[in-house]
Amino acid sequence: MAVFDSVLTGGRVMDPESGTDRLANVGISDGVIGAITSETLEGHDSIDAKGLVVAPGAVDLHSHGQDDENYRVQALDGVTTALELELGVLDVDGWYGERLGNALINFGASVGHIPVRMAVMNDPGDMAPVADGAYKAASEAQIKEMQELLHRGLRSGALAIGFVLALAPAVSRWEALEMFRVAAHHGANCHVHMRGMGHKEPLTSIEGLSELIAASVTSGAPLHLDHVNSSGQHAVPELLQMIEEGRSHGVDVTTECYPYTAGMAPIEAAMFNEGWTDKFSLDYGDLEWADTGERLTASSFAEYREIGGMVIAHSMRQDLVDATVTSPLTAIASDGYLKAGKGHPRTAGTYSKVLGHYVRESRVLSLMDAIRKIALMPAQRMESLAPAFKKKGRASVGADADLMVFDPAKVIDHSTYREPTLPPEGMLHVLVNGVPVVRNGAVQEGVSPGRGIRAPGA
Ligand SMILES: [Zn+2]
């Protein structure tokens, strides 16, 4: 009998696509699952998975922290593929090239409307536009120029087009629709942070989603709505109803959420312009300066807005976040981002929180449904443009050996707003393309098995 590169012995193998849920040995060679069987397997390396669940690793559709610091933290939470699809990038080839051969986990990106717009409008901002990229309407020629850059990105193998309409109030409805038309031309999804937020007229999240559904139907581009929990705020039930109704009429719309009641955004962004307290029913004290944990006042808000930086906004109701996490419509996506150890705890804890809190402690989600939302649903969303995803999000023979191995009786997040990088407990082993990147809860040094996942392009 063949000797595998590595073998996971005696684990409970769970695959949401086939419904497989049984004790088995898993044999891995050349980064691919070669056998799932009750027979004894031989391997050059062996990991004891007795008492543990062996499941496909998380495919994170929404990961802004695309560097080694963030990949290490995400790997400890079971993430095997981290995708920057919302903000996206301008230079797709360059972005993939920088990470090639030195990434701990798999990575990928969309071409982003915001970075493209910032380039065309000569905006000096860093992550978020601060001048014409946010506040100046584009001419017809500039819209054409943006379209050409988006075409170029998709031809280079970008996985989607990303949008953050909330960062750029000057984007006209027509401009957004013109960008959707580029996505439709390539069969690419639009991953969108909508322009509306919450339930308070005008420009509610109902209106925000209506614009996107109309653009999707008009152009033919599939729509993925980012973080329905935070964009929806109190209107989450209405948004989920709209998505369900749209899908029942054949609209290709999907969504995602993260399991936290606070969001995070750059304080200099347009969403915090005059009137935000009333608009979002929030006060200065609901904002927390990510670097220090300090709650803001009118005067510290003004000071920090001059400097710029990340602010955590405690803006959502727990019962609505719970309903969002457990809805069959939502994939789980972290929206994670850390810089020098500071940021939002979702980067380090999203997936172990779903497995530990929602599955084991609250019992509002079955383990198989949780794995489906963490791994299979996101992979399926990406696979029509990028067939590489047909081998991700699954624990089956022939699938890529991107696996998380956790103790279902212990797995739980520990990261907090004050200590956002504290690793979870019970997420014992994580494999990327068959190579252990986490073993016994520790990141393995000197391994870089992550691959850039791209669409075939044109
Ligand atoms: Zn967003």
Cα(40) to ligand 1 centroid in Å equals 47
The predicted structure's pLDDT at residue 198: 83
C-alpha of residue 81 to centroid of ligand 1, in Å: 19
pLDDT of residue 200: 85
Q: State pLDDT tens for residues 155-180.
A: 999 999 999 999 999 999 999 999 99
Map out the domains of the chain as residue ranges. 3-56+397-443, 58-260+333-388, 262-315
Alpha carbon of 193 to ligand 1 centroid (Å)? 5
Pull the structure tokens for residue 105: 């986990």
pLDDT given for residue 168 in this prediction: 96
Do 93 and 155 meet the contact criterion of CB atoms below 8 Å apart? Answer: no
Residue 45 CA to ligand 1 centre (angstroms): 41
Mean pLDDT for the stretch of residues 256-277: 93
Res 271: pLDDT: 87
- Please name the residue that has the structure tokens 């392009």: 457
Q: If you measure from the C-alpha of residue 155 to the centroid of ligand 1, how many angstroms do you get, rounded to a whole number?
A: 25
Q: How would residue 374 be classed by pLDDT, with cut points 50, 70 and 90?
A: very high
Mean pLDDT value across residues 315-320? 94
Distance 225 CA to ligand 1 centre (A): 9
How far does the centroid of ligand 1 lie from the alpha carbon of residue 194, in Å? 8
Per-residue pLDDT of 207-237, as tens digits, reads 999 999 999 999 999 999 999 999 999 999 9
CA of 195 to the centre of ligand 1 (A): 10
Residue 262 alpha carbon to ligand 1 centre in Å = 12
Average pLDDT over residues 372-383: 98
CA of 264 to the centre of ligand 1 (A): 9
Q: Which two tokens stand for residue 351?
A: 């997936």
Percentage of residues of the chain with pLDDT beyond 90: 95
Mean pLDDT on 186-214: 94
Q: What average pLDDT does the segment 37-43 reach? A: 97
**Residue 89 structure tokens:** 């990038």
Interval 295-322 mean pLDDT: 95
Report the distance separating Cα 433 and Cα 176, nearest Å.
37
Tell me the CA–centroid distance for residue 436 and ligand 1, in Å.
Answer: 31
Query: What's the Cα-to-Cα distance from 386 to each of 108, 159, 383, rounded to whole Å?
Result: 11, 7, 5
CA of 420 to the centre of ligand 1 (A): 19
Statement: residue 1 has pLDDT above 80: no
CA 442 to centroid of ligand 1, rounded, Å: 30
Tell me how far the alpha carbon of residue 96 lies from the centroid of ligand 1, in angstroms.
22
For residue 406, is pLDDT > 80? Answer: yes
Task: State the distance from the centre of ligand 1 to the C-alpha of 165, rounded, in angstroms.
Answer: 9
Q: Average pLDDT for residues 38-48, to the nearest whole number? A: 98
Percent of the chain with pLDDT over 70: 100
Alpha carbon of 220 to ligand 1 centroid (Å): 23
Q: CA-to-CA distance for 438 and 456, rounded, in angstroms?
A: 30
CB 93 within 8 A of CB 362: no
281 pLDDT above the threshold of 90: no
Where do the DSSP E strands lie in 147-266? 161-164, 190-193, 223-225, 253-257, 262-266
- Contact status, residue 159 vs residue 454, Cβ threshold 8 Å: yes
Å from CA of 199 to ligand 1 middle: 17
DSSP type of residue 36: E
Task: Please tell me the predicted confidence (pLDDT) of residue 126.
Answer: 87
Q: How confident is the model at residue 154 (pLDDT cuts 50, 70, 90)?
A: very high
Mean pLDDT, the chain, rounded, equals: 97
Q: According to the model, what pLDDT value does residue 127 have? A: 85
Residue that the structure tokens 């709650």 belong to: 295
Q: Binning pLDDT at 50, 70 and 90, where does residue 280 land?
A: confident
Please state the rounded mean pLDDT for residues 89-111.
98
Q: What is the CATH number of domain 3-56+397-443?
A: 2.30.40.10
* Fold category of 58-260+333-388 in CATH: TIM Barrel (3.20.20)
Would the CATH topology of 3-56+397-443 be identical to that of 58-260+333-388?
no
Grouping H, G, I as helix, E, B as strand and the rest as coil, residue 58 is strand
339: helix, strand or coil? strand
pTM (global) more than 0.85: yes
pLDDT band of 458, cuts 50, 70, 90: confident
Ion ligand 1, residues whose Cβ is below 5 A away: 193, 226
What confidence score (pLDDT) does residue 173 get? 98
Banded pLDDT at 358 (limits 50, 70, 90): very high
Residue 121 bridge partners (DSSP): none
Q: How remote is the CA of residue 187 from the centroid of ligand 1, in Å?
A: 22
Q: Calculate the dihedral angle through the C-alpha atoms of 184, 187, 193, 195, rounding to the nearest 10 degrees.
A: 10
pLDDT for the residue numbered 221: 98
Strand, helix or coil for residue 148: helix
In 3-state terms, what secondary structure has residue 433?
coil
